[in-house]
Chain A
Amino acid sequence: MSFITQVLATLGWIVVAPLAISPIVWLILQPYFKGWSRAERRAADLLRDALTPEQFRQLVWRGYLEIPSPTEPQRVYRVPRTRGYIQVIENGRAVMRLCVQPVECLPDADVVVLHKLMIEANEENYLKKANKYLCIE
């Protein structure tokens, strides 16, 4: 009988303890969640302002944004919606992957805008900074 009581008491604690501490954990973590979601919202606003409706649709539906090179007409940069390599497409073929990242941690939407601005107005420096990985068939 005492064994059953002990098991029930243990099970009771297993259920009650997390319920008891969860409000405290939430209170501790809430500011971080709120801060992050606010940052994501602001970044999403900037992304919507920076992209044309077609570009925004492409990013949402295909998961990447294609940015034509301002200097090489046959080249397109494919920037993923979330962190990852930037693909360089030339004449329809992936020729290279680039790894470029900001020194400061930014929301994903801001990173997309960063790539877009750098490619469109600072391509030479962008390529200079990037680590390049050639695609070999």
Chain B
Amino acid sequence: MLRVMSRRGDDRVTWDEQKVLAGDPEATAAIREAERIFTQERAKGATAFRVEPGKPTQRIEQFDSTAEQIVMVPRVVGG
């Protein structure tokens, strides 16, 4: 799942990795959409984190379709 923080809470794109591997067109489209959003948000300065229960949070630079959950946070500045 890709979760992108915004003023609306967080926007989510979900996909089923098993269905993607099986070549399901809907799942493939979802993953393409998630990848597009990931790239777009990264270009705006957002940071992406791979978040999985019981594992340390990891910052990622590239979209990873095998991640259970990717959370994207907007660019931060000193206040």
Query: Residues of A with Cβ closer than 8 Å to B?
Result: 35, 38-43, 45-46, 49-50, 70, 99-107, 110, 113-114, 116-118, 120-122, 125-126, 129-131
Chain A nearest CB: distance from B65 CB in Å? Answer: 19
Interface size bracket, B side: 20 to 34
B68 → A minimal CB distance (Å)? 11
Main secondary structure, interface of A, reads: helix
Q: Which residues of A contact B76 (CB under 8 A)?
A: 100-103, 114, 118, 126, 129
Q: Which residues from chain A contact B5 at a C-beta distance below 8 Å?
A: 43, 46, 102, 104, 106, 110, 113-114
In the complex, what residues of A have CB within 8 A of residue B58's CB? 121
Q: Decide: B75 and A103 in contact? CB cutoff 8 A.
A: yes
Q: Is the pair B75, A102 in contact by a Cβ cutoff of 8 Å? A: yes
A39-B8, A102-B76, A104-B6 known; A122 and B71 CB under 8 Å?
no
Residue in B56, B71, B74, B79 whose beta carbon sits within 8 Å of that of A106 in the complex: B74
